[in-house]
Structure 1
């Protein structure tokens, strides 16, 4: 990695790479190679974040973001001490690293660092911006989401949206997407925001969360016909018109073919029935160990003994109006086995309210987003005394209403949580360039999308990196 990181004093552009859960800087090696092949050291300075390596990523998005913010500030100081002058900033996040990077961006914004820099590109590869909660209802929701959230320490609680961040009463993911927060205002500074999302086989972060959408047109690929981006066929889909209805099939599947397919699955089912219980035991034991270790690190961090000036970061106000591999394989396999569920649209829910009230709340949310663009005086203040459950019902009522109006064959709305619907609306208001990715040659697409290791079957990810560095990255 040392061969590709760093830069010369002539470089004016700093690009920061942030790895994901249980990751390390070497996971970003092929991204670094792609960047360096396109931009020499005298043109681009490359920083690969190191302080969140390994089990440190279990400590939560907040602590991870503070560490990355400190690394960036230290690197800028180091470059200046050597006679350099960085005037541009780009940030790349992979998986959980995308959320950590967004937290760091908010801190950099609040500390005035971004005021001195031209913010160029923010890119996320397979980052779960809506969390990793599987869209399920009832008992399945409690089993896979609530239980799963408690096996990945603080990062797990935040990724599943069951935490309450500081004194906000909201999950951290909701605060990150609040239109009036430093995190959204910092993100809005970037000239370009780009997403790359796997459409299949991403067991860590599924399409809806990595692409910030409320439906999944790729849940059944037999029902759609995909369209690829010219020059990047078979891997990157056309972001403007990615799918069309599949042509009608005239022949039904022969019974022998159907039976043969299920016979081939028998060994897999038998293997899973043996190894999943053993894997779960090992996974839970490891989770308990990591929870203890993470608690110790968090205690050191909070006391200021971990080398991070916590007091400086925590004094920052979160709200702009006041200041002017993700998951371990065992859980991945269990989680990916669940079918996504959709919102009920029969209108029988008690959450339905008069259209005028629902539309008014939606309009207020949009108006509030002007705070980051300099129109803070006109922004709608957040109603701290509002009834949260009533607000959630209004959000769900609006989504059901919109789902009922979709009679054109569009895809149904997933059974997301209210804070996820609100995050989609707020994040989309910033504008994104979204690229669906279809990795064919390997079933671990979460790692293949960035060629996390030089492994057979991951080579399709090189086409993704080529597209990003030549078509999307702003120099």
Structure 2
């Protein structure tokens, strides 16, 4: 165990876990042990528990494999912290898919516990915030879901056939080309699972432009016709937040009616329909005036100290985090 900070009354304390990752918490003024676990899929960052089970080439082994690792890691943290009563997830990019997979595995129906809970829990904890940042919820297969391919149908079709050569099983999952034992693509099956239904808040941060890796539709869980028009931010505190909206949960009939007025890939539409059965907060971000806009996928999570232009996005997450 160690402290973060130079003075004797350290604000933060850190502890490496046996299963990987780091736990970080404040003990400067608190009179009791922390009771809210925030699991982050952001290697190199440390807030409460920074997962490091799925870094570097480990992200190529498949969304399900990553999700299983994260599941085991969360269980380990909870077992070592009996004072915990709440849980939140904050994940970047494909980490958001791993988190969704893990959440479904960790979900406990009230009848599965010996306690008197009246609603489902995540491994016995109250589900608070589920926050994704530039996560390809709808995969990468649809038109312009990978802006780096310039919207070329030919290039997108070619990428879907060869992506597994580079990104292995994860590439197949993202391009919806996996066919395990004749089952539908994994991301489609995940969209039909309601593990994240029990979070008090679900928030999707999306790059509205300049993200050459993850498209706007897939990261904001929208159909093409639903993408909003936005203007330059006038906020001094959040200069890169250009649009916010609250998307109410939609019933099956409403989802189907919406689908009839759009030209959408069938698999993509199934995922939109499944994910929109719960409410979402959508936060759209733009770095189009930034000198570092071509690295927007990294900027939005402030991955490096020398690329910290997205600090206001992180501040927005902090300011709106429900404890």
TM-score range, shorter chain: 0.7 to 0.9
Correspondence 1:12 to 2:35: yes
Counterpart Cα distance in 2 of 1:227 and 1:137: 28
Give the total of aligned pairs. Answer: 277
SS state of the match for residue 402, structure 1? coil
Residue matched to 2:158: 143
Quote the Cα distance in structure 1 between the aligned partners of 2:236 and 2:163.
Answer: 40
Aligned to 1:160: 175
Alignment of 1:463 onto 2:312: yes
Aligned mate of 1:122, from 122, 130, 140: 130
Task: Please state if 1:189 is matched with 2:198.
Answer: yes
Pairwise mapping of residues 40-79 of structure 1 onto structure 2 (< 5 A)? Answer: 46-79=48-81
In structure 2, C-alpha distance between the alignment counterparts of 1:216 and 1:447, rounded to whole Å: 27
Q: Counterparts of 1:212 and 1:160 in 2: how far apart (Å)?
A: 16
How far residue 133 of structure 1 moved from its aligned partner, in angstroms, is: 1.8
Q: Does 1:95 align with 2:93?
A: yes
Give 1:175-324 correspondences, 5 Å limit: 175-178=189-192, 181=193, 184=194, 186-215=195-224, 226-228=231-233, 230-232=235-237, 234-240=239-245
TM-score (norm 2): 0.76
Gaps of 5+ in 1: 20-24, 36-45, 242-362, 370-394, 404-412
CA distance in 2, matches of 1:233, 1:78: 37
Give the deviation of 1:237 after TM superposition: 1.2
Higher percent of residues as strand: 2
Are the structure 2 counterparts of residues 141 and 466 from structure 1 closer, same or farther at C-alpha, using a change threshold of 3 Å? closer
The offset of 1:59, in angstroms, is 0.7
How far has the Cα of 1:428 moved from its partner?
1.6
Change (3 A) 1:121 1:226: same
Bigger proportion of residues as helix: 1
Shift of 1:216: 7.1
Q: How does 1:324-403 map to 2 (within 5 A)?
A: 366=252, 399=259, 401-403=260-262
Deviation at 1:78, TM superposition (A): 1.4
- TM-score scaled by length of structure 1: 0.53
135-144 vs 145-154, which moves further: 135-144
Please state how far the C-alpha of 1:146 moved relative to its aligned partner.
2.0
Q: Which residue of 2 aligns with 1:432?
A: 280
Q: Which has the larger radius of gyration?
A: 1
| Residues 240/230 of structure 1: CA separation in 2 closer, same or farther (3 Å cut) | farther
Measure how far apart 1:429 and its partner are.
2.0
Residues 145, 102 of structure 1: alpha-carbon distance in 2 compared, 3 angstrom cutoff: same
Alpha-carbon RMSD: 3.1
Report the Cα offset of residue 53 of structure 1: 2.1
CA deviations on 1:408-428 (whole Å, 9 max, x unpaired) are xxxxx5xx4311111112212
